[in-house]
């Protein structure tokens, strides 16, 4: 939709801000430009609305070279949000948001009613309409900035470090709100940040630029974490990319073990026969009761007589990522994470060692799942009698319970929530 063909920007002082950039940005997606300070992110962004003209190459919008579109007309279809919001200090919040509709000659009443809608859309109370920018917090100002950019409902939004000037908590809130808003609006967004975490959280695609305005890699967040193109990208993405990558692996794709999940009325001998240091004891509805250490079990009787160690937290196969599963495993006394279905029934347990294979990227779990989530293919085979993909196990449990699956999330799941996107 937005296409850069061998675009360069050289300044008269000899600086090459952007160097032969070729990039195709998908319609209706968020493309993040990320890279160290001075690598040409803002210059690239501003070439889309002709605030900066390229020295060489072409930028096109829906197939048309933007040089052929008069700048004011071009900008009517492109919203622009900057750091510190850049609001007009002498205008009320409502009039700030109404700026573009008024410029387009909508008339005061219609422009203000549109502004009121947008105020609500960005999550601000109507009572703020009459305030002036100095009477708002930084985060609230930024929301007004987003609302103003959406004034004429432009198909394209350019956002230059829009959330950089607020504290980390407000920033997280703004990012979450932004993801929600984009689901509703489906704009084509080009988003500049120097923060790789923000890029991974928000981007459908990420362009990593290196100093000198050269493109280092253009990829999905999943692939950037799994397969950085070179040492520069690997360093920029960070040492903990293995763990962060787990956010993109669905818990439903993890291998699960079922053999050590036993009902409370099972004889102790059955737990010993499992040849495992721990067994998970469940009730008649397969809800988890706790871990039993096999070495400490009484000589006879059933598991109902055993002293149980609390679970820690479970993870939800329906909604959590492998990152939540790994966290559950690390906090579990058995180092095994308990996966539950939407009703809170145990589907199986995941082993910390297998999860760490996904984390290092060398194991089939992580690679297969990342590729799968990218390509949306069906899971590969290769399951043992006791190890199946969680998706299969969920359906087995649901069939056993005569349940076709409700799809609602488990209230019992204490998965990290928020570690995914
Ligand atoms: N008008 C200008 N004249 C000369 N050099 C410029 C001009 N504007 C930008 N530059 C230079 O071009 C390079 C890229 O600048 P740009 O602002 O695009 O980088 P950036 O990646 O957005 O940086 P930051 O993250 O620090 O905002 C920098 O070296 C900058 O100094």
According to DSSP, the residues that pair with 79 across neighbouring strands are 157
Question: Of 43, 48, 161, which is best to mutate to test ligand 1, by the most ligand atoms within 8 angstroms of its C-beta?
Answer: 43
How far, in Å, are 246, 339, 361, 368, 385 from residue 381 at the CA level?
A: 21, 20, 19, 11, 12
Who wins on pLDDT, 378 or 323?
A: 323
How far away, in angstroms, is 212 Cα from ligand 1 center?
10
40 lines ligand 1 (CB under 6 A): yes
Find the CATH number of the domain harbouring 325: 3.10.580.10
pTM for this predicted structure: 0.71
Residue 253 confidence (pLDDT)? 82
Among the ranges given (154-163, 165-174, 261-270), the one the predictor scored with the smallest mean pLDDT: 165-174
39 lines ligand 1 (CB under 6 A): yes
Closest among 51, 151, 139 to 100, alpha carbons compared: 151
* Residue nearest atom 7 in ligand 1 by C-alpha distance: 11
Domain membership of residue 411 (yes or no) is: no
Integer Cα distance of 421 and 83 in angstroms:
23
What would the DSSP string read from start to end of 296-329?
G--SSSBGGGS--B----EEETTT-BHHHHHHHH
Residue 66 confidence (pLDDT)? 95
Tell me the pLDDT band of 83, cut-offs 50, 70 and 90: confident
Q: Same domain for 224 and 290?
A: no
State the closest ligand 1 atom to the C-alpha of 39, by its place in the atom list counted from 1.
21
Q: Same domain for 211 and 264?
A: no
Residue 164 confidence (pLDDT)? 82
How far away, in angstroms, is 44 Cα from ligand 1 center?
10
Number of Cβ atoms within 10 Å of the Cβ of 373 = 16
Who wins on pLDDT, 224 or 358?
A: 224
How far away, in angstroms, is 216 Cα from ligand 1 center?
17
Domain membership of residue 154 (yes or no) is: yes
| Number of separate domains in the chain | 2
Question: Of 12, 39, 194, 211, which is best to mutate to test ligand 1, by the most ligand atoms within 8 angstroms of its C-beta?
Answer: 39
Number of Cβ atoms within 10 Å of the Cβ of 176 = 13
Residue 411, exposed/middle/buried by CB under 10 A (0-12, 13-18, 19+)?
Answer: exposed
Q: Same domain for 300 and 222?
A: no
313 lines ligand 1 (CB under 6 A): no
ipTM: 0.97
State the closest ligand 1 atom to the C-alpha of 213, by its place in the atom list counted from 1.
14
Domain membership of residue 416 (yes or no) is: no
Q: Same domain for 167 and 278?
A: no
319 lines ligand 1 (CB under 6 A): no
* Residue nearest atom 14 in ligand 1 by C-alpha distance: 40
How far away, in angstroms, is 41 Cα from ligand 1 center?
8
pLDDT in tens, 123-155: 889 999 999 999 988 888 988 998 998 888 899
Best mean pLDDT range from 30-34, 123-127, 324-328: 30-34
Q: Same domain for 130 and 65?
A: yes
Residue 360 confidence (pLDDT)? 56
Q: Are 100 and 178 a contacting pair, CB within 8 Å?
A: no
Residue 411 confidence (pLDDT)? 31
Tell me the pLDDT band of 217, cut-offs 50, 70 and 90: very high
Q: Same domain for 285 and 388?
A: yes
Mean residue pLDDT across the chain? 82
Domain that holds residue 326: 251-400
Give yes or no for residue 381 having a pLDDT over 60.
no
Give yes or no for residue 172 having a pLDDT over 70.
yes
């Amino acid at each position: 939709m937005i296409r850069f063909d061998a675009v360069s920007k050289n300044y008269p002082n000899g600086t090459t801000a952007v160097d032969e950039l070729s990039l195709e940005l998908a319609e209706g997606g968020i493309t993040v430009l990320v890279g160290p300070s001075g690598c040409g992110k803002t210059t690239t962004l501003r070439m889309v609305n002709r605030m900066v003209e390229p020295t060489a190459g072409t930028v096109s919008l829906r197939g048309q070279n933007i040089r052929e579109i008069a700048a004011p007309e071009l900008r009517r279809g492109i919203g622009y949000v900057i750091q510190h919001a850049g609001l007009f200090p002498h205008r009320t919040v409502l009039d700030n948001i109404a700026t573009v509709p008024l410029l387009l000659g909508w008339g005061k009443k219609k422009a203000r009613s549109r502004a009121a809608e947008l105020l609500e859309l960005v999550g601000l109370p109507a009572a703020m309409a009459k305030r002036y920018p100095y009477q708002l917090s930084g985060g609230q100002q930024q929301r007004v900035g987003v609302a103003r950019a959406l004034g004429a409902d432009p198909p394209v939004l350019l956002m230059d470090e829009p959330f950089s000037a607020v504290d980390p908590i407000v920033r997280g809130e703004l990012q979450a709100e932004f993801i929600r808003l984009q689901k509703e609006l489906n704009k084509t967004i080009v988003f500049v940040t120097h923060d790789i975490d923000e890029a991974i959280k928000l981007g459908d695609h990420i362009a990593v630029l290196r100093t000198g305005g050269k493109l280092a890699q253009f990829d999905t967040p999943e692939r950037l974490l799994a397969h950085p193109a070179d040492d520069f990208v690997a360093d920029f993405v960070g040492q903990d990319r293995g763990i962060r990558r787990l956010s993109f692996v669905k818990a439903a794709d993890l291998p699960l073990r079922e053999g050590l999940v036993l009902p409370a009325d099972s004889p102790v001998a059955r737990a010993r026969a499992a040849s495992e240091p721990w067994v998970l004891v469940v009730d008649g509805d397969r809800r988890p009761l706790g871990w039993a250490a096999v070495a400490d079990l009484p000589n006879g009787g059933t598991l109902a007589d055993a002293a149980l160690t609390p679970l820690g937290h479970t993870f939800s196969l329906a909604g959590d990522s492998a990152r939540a599963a790994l966290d559950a495993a690390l906090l579990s006394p058995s180092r095994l994470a308990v996966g539950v279905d939407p009703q809170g029934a145990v589907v199986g347990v995941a082993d910390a060692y297998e999860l760490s294979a996904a984390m290092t990227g060398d194991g089939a779990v992580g690679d297969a799942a990342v590729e799968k989530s990218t390509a949306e293919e069906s899971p590969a085979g290769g399951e043992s009698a006791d190890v199946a993909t969680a998706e299969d196990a969920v359906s087995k449990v649901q069939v056993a319970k005569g349940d076709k699956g409700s799809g609602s999330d488990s209230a019992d799941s204490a998965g990290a929530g928020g570690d995914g996107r």
